[in-house]
Amino acid sequence: MDQHLRDLLASVLKTDPEASLDDEGRQAILYAMLGQHQSEQLEALWRFVGSITNEFKRSYLLHNLVAVTAKRPIEFALAERIARSIPATYWRFSALAEIANESLARGRQFATVNSRSGQEFRDRGFRLLREVEYGLSSIPEDDDDRSSLIYAAGHSLVRAGELDWAESLASTAKYCPENTEVLLSSAKQRTLRNQTPEAIQLAKTVAELAIKGPGDFTNRAFDLSAVAELVFTAGDKEEARKYLAEAARLASASQEANDIDGCKCLGEIAVAFAKQGDLEQARKTADSITQGARRDYALQQIAQLPAI
């Protein structure tokens, strides 16, 4: 073996490069090589990772390889082939969603330069997202993997302007933060399109889910705060403050449960009250923050806001 290659492998593996490789050694080589972007090297890495015996580790590392490969539009076909070789269901569909997201992003970049290429990228992205959506039926509804896929696919659709599709995909009868984030993102885009009634209806749907949902105080509080902002922007100040008050209640419960994000959420809600002109409630909310640094920061932000 060439001495330079031997030294390189030894530095990566931290062991004799001519020794038998276990899965950990193969993983180390993959991470060292992921910075390489030539097609033949990616193909070789694909075969190399395929030799890992542990199915979960093989799936996870193939997913990483897809993420790198999909950054190059010229390699979308290769990325798709690698994704389809992933044995674990979640990692396979997650990889396809990753390719779809990259393809749709390229479609937007090419839209004004080469409409034909842009449409080809969009077609690939939508085809893959339809496959991911169909594949959700094989994952139980209460499985976190399903939520993660909906989150990834839903945001890709929102960025691509497919709001109806995104909302249909994320539609849910019970509170799930991944779903509601997609719905709120779509609502914000509808506001930008001057589709205010549709945006507010969507926001209120999220509010109903967040208010009724059990547990998960922090995410529910963040969602209600986002709803309040949308409603306030639309002109319904009284309704907005009701949502903020409920958000503050949930954030306080989160803080009491020792969730560090509960303090962060309370700080944001305090500032939101101030932006809506309710300085008394803003200071009261900020004063309830138990972390001194966050409390002081919230009060500082409130003091710096212009009078409304």
**Cβ atoms of residues 75 and 69 within 8 Å:** yes
* Residue 1 reports pLDDT greater than 60: no
Q: Which two tokens stand for residue 153?
A: 């696919």
Q: Could you give the CA distance from residue 158 to residue 188 in angstroms, rounded to a whole number?
A: 10
Q: How many CB atoms are located within 10 Å of the residue 291 CB?
A: 16
pLDDT in tens, 9-25: 665 556 666 777 788 87
Q: Pick the residue with more confidence: 16 or 92?
A: 92
Backbone Cα Rg of the chain? 24
pLDDT in tens, 29-62: 777 666 555 666 788 788 888 888 999 999 999 9
pTM: 0.84
Give the pLDDT score at 48. Answer: 82
Q: What is the mean pLDDT of the chain?
A: 89
Give the pLDDT score at 26. Answer: 76
**Contacts of residue 43, Cβ cutoff 8 Å, sequence gap at least 6:** 78
Q: How many CB atoms are located within 10 Å of the residue 221 CB?
A: 29
User: Looking only at Cα atoms, what is the longest distance across the chain?
Assistant: 75
* Exposed/middle/buried for residue 288 (C-beta within 10 Å: 0-12, 13-18, 19+): middle
